[in-house]
Amino acid sequence: MEELNMPLLGDKFPELKVQTTHGPMNIPADQKGSWFVLFSHPADFTPVCTTEFVAFQKRFDQFEKLDCKLIGMSVDQIFSHIKWVEWIKAELGVEIKFPVVAANDSVAMKLGMLHPGKGTNTVRAVFIVDPEGKVRLIMYYPQEIGRNMDEVVRAVKALQISDKQGAIPAGWPENELIGDRVIVPPATNEVDAKKRCEEYECFDWWFCHKPLES
C-alpha cells in the first residue's frame, strides 16, 4: 500500500489532475485566485453522503458570496457520480452545481483520505484552501458521522476575516465573552502592553478585542 501522506496546515495543496462530473480539472491550479473547499465522501448512493451533498448544495450561494468553490470527491467511478447526481435531482429536487471528482487510490492517499482502520472507502475529509493554494484548515470525520456544513461556511468566513482583522474566538460569531468581535493580537513588548488597555476593550493587556469591521 502507498504511504499515507496528507498535506499539513500551511502546505501547498498537492497538484492533482482529475476527472470530474464537470470534465477534467487541475487542482489547485484551476481554482487559483479564489478559496475552495474540497470534501471527500465514502461512497455514492449512501444515505449519510446523500444528506451531506444536499446540505452542501443548500449552502452553495453562501459559499459563492465568500468567493469559495465547492469540490466533492470519492473513489467511485465517474459514471457512478453522474448517475447519483442525476438521482438526487430527480428524487430529491436538488441540483448539485459543484463538480465531483472521481479519485483513484493514489489521489486519495496523497490527501490522507484512505484510513486502513476505516475500510477501503474515503473518510469524510474537508480541506479549506486559500487563493494562493495553501491549506488553511483540515477536518476528518468517520463514515458514520455526517458533517455540519454551517461549520464549514463559518470556518471559511472566519479564515477570511482573521487574515485581515485578527484572531477569531470560540463559537464566533456568538462567543460567550465577546460576541462577534475579533481578538487583537497580543502585545510583544512592555511599551505596547501598557498601551493596550487604553486603545482597546480588554480583560487584560494580553486579551483585548475590537469590533468586527464590515
Indicate which residues carry an active-site annotation: 49
Cα–Cα distance, 48 to 42 (Å, whole number) = 9
Please report how many Cα atoms fall inside a 13 Å half-sphere around the Cα of residue 59, on the Cβ side.
19
Cα–Cα distance, 119 to 116 (Å, whole number) = 5
What are the backbone dihedrals phi and psi of residue 6, each rounded to the nearest 5 degrees, phi first? Answer: -120, 145
Residues 6+ apart with CB under 8 A from 149: 52, 55, 56, 58, 59
Residues 6+ apart with CB under 8 A from 203: 177
CA angle 13, 102, 122 (to 5 degrees): 70
Candidates 24, 39, 32, 158; CA nearest to 96 is 39
